[in-house]
Structure formats: structure tokens, C-alpha cells
């Protein structure tokens, strides 16, 4: 059987569109502009407005869209066939295989933003044998040391998640072929983002910078 090409687009912030064998899988769709392709599957990491955007979900979903979301946020999903998820579990849907992993804050002045007890998640997807780890909103946590992946997507914006220095330390705690920073441009601005990207590449030997554009940015 010939498979269709699989690729990933960085829509912006923590939002991604993965095309996997002809199916469209969104992670945390937010601030959608030209990318409004119908969603076969949506994965939500947690209920903050820039990750669970009811407005954006309505643009891409219908009653047939499978939506996976932490159990405390099921009622916030405006449309779709909704499944509540827990961390450290495996899920499967029509050829899509993925695991949920914990995502939470441990740094004292951030603990209240993403408490561990809320059970919010990141995702590790299997894309034609290549793993993609979307960390969600998180600090550097010991749960990360178990990750083995092809591509890792780590938040580096600080304030609510790891800052750039913490993300560099985190990147050395698990096995990944490539690691890309996310969740920073809205927080750091143009100049701060450029500086953070340079520091990330200098500190992470397998680091890459994804383009925030309306075309595939990483292919499988």
C-alpha cells in the first residue's frame, strides 16, 4: 500500500497541523489564519484560551471530528466527538497512535499556572514510525527523561512555561533526533524571539528552528 506523504505545519504559538496518511490532525489549534483545513482529529493539551480556542475549533471541526482533551475540559469543546484523556495512557484512532504524557509546572512562581493535579498533558504521536513529542505547557519535569522521539517541540517562552535556559537543560534530559522551540514569539516579541532562537541553537546540539508559515515545515 502506498502511503500519502506525512508532514507537520507550525501554525504559530503551540498550534500545529499534522497531515498523516491523508488525515488532518491538529494540536492546540489557535489563531488560525489561512490554515482552516477540516480536522479529522484534534488534540488539546489543556484548557487555556491559547490552547483550547472554541472559536478556532468551530472553524475546522464538525460532528465527525474526533477531539481528545483532558477530562476536566470536556465541556469546553463546542463541536465534535469528544474523548477525555488522562496522562500516561495510550490512545488509538483510525491508524493514529499516540501517548499522553504529563505537562505541569514545578517552578515556584509558576506552579499555579499548570498544576500537576489538573492532569493536563503533552502528546507523543507515532507518525509512520517517527515519534513527535509536543510537550504542552510545562516546566522541565522528571517525566521528560522517559521520552524517546524523533522530533520534540518544547515551549521556551518563560512566564508560564520553561524559559530558554530551562529548555536547554530539559533538552539534554531525553532522547530526540531534533528539538524545536515553540510557545515563545507571542511572549518574547521579535527581538526577544530572535535572541532566544540563537541561544537555543547554541545550547542544543540537535536543535532546529521551525518556520511559522502556511506550508509544511517538517516532513516524515
89 pLDDT exceeds 50? yes
pLDDT reported for residue 127: 84
Domains of the chain: 7-204 (3.60.15.10)
Grid coordinates standing for 187? 511572549
Query: How far is 29 from 207, CA to CA, in rounded Å?
Result: 24
- Average model confidence (pLDDT) across the chain: 92
Question: What's the mean pLDDT in 182-202?
Answer: 94
Q: Is residue 34 classed exposed, middle or buried when 0-12, 13-18 and 19+ CB atoms within 10 A define those classes?
A: exposed
Interval 31-75: pLDDT, tens? 998 778 899 999 999 999 999 999 999 999 999 999 999 999 999
pLDDT reported for residue 22: 83
- pLDDT confidence band for 216 (50 / 70 / 90): low
Query: How far is 67 from 73, CA to CA, in rounded Å?
Result: 11
Amino acid at each position: 500500500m502506498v502511503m500519502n506523504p506525512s508532514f507537520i505545519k507550525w501554525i504559530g504559538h503551540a498550534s500545529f497541523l499534522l497531515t498523516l496518511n491523508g488525515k488532518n490532525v491538529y494540536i492546540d489549534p489557535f489563531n488560525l489564519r489561512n490554515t482552516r483545513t477540516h480536522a479529522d482529529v484534534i488534540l488539546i493539551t489543556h484548557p487555556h484560551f491559547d490552547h483550547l480556542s472554541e472559536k478556532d475549533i468551530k472553524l475546522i471541526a464538525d460532528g465527525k471530528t474526533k477531539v481528545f482533551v483532558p477530562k476536566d475540559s470536556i465541556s469546553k469543546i463546542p463541536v465534535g466527538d469528544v474523548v477525555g484523556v488522562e496522562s500516561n495512557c495510550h490512545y488509538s484512532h483510525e491508524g493514529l497512535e499516540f501517548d499522553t504524557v504529563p505537562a505541569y509546572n514545578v517552578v515556584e512562581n509558576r506552579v499555579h499556572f499548570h498544576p500537576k493535579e489538573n492532569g493536563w498533558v503533552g502528546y507523543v504521536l507515532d507518525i509512520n514510525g517517527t515519534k513527535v513529542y509536543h510537550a504542552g505547557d510545562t516546566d522541565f519535569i522528571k517525566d521528560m527523561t522517559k521520552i524517546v522521539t524523533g522530533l520534540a517541540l518544547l515551549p521556551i517562552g518563560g512566564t508560564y512555561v520553561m524559559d530558554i535556559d530551562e529548555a536547554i537543560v530539559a533538552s539534554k534530559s531525553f532522547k530526540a533526533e531534533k528539538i524545536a522551540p515553540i510557545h515563545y514569539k507571542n511572549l518574547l516579541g521579535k527581538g526577544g524571539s530572535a535572541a532566544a532562537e540563537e541561544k537555543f541553537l547554541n545550547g542544543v546540539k540537535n536543535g532546529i528552528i521551525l518556520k511559522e508559515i502556511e506550508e509544511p515545515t517538517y516532513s516524515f
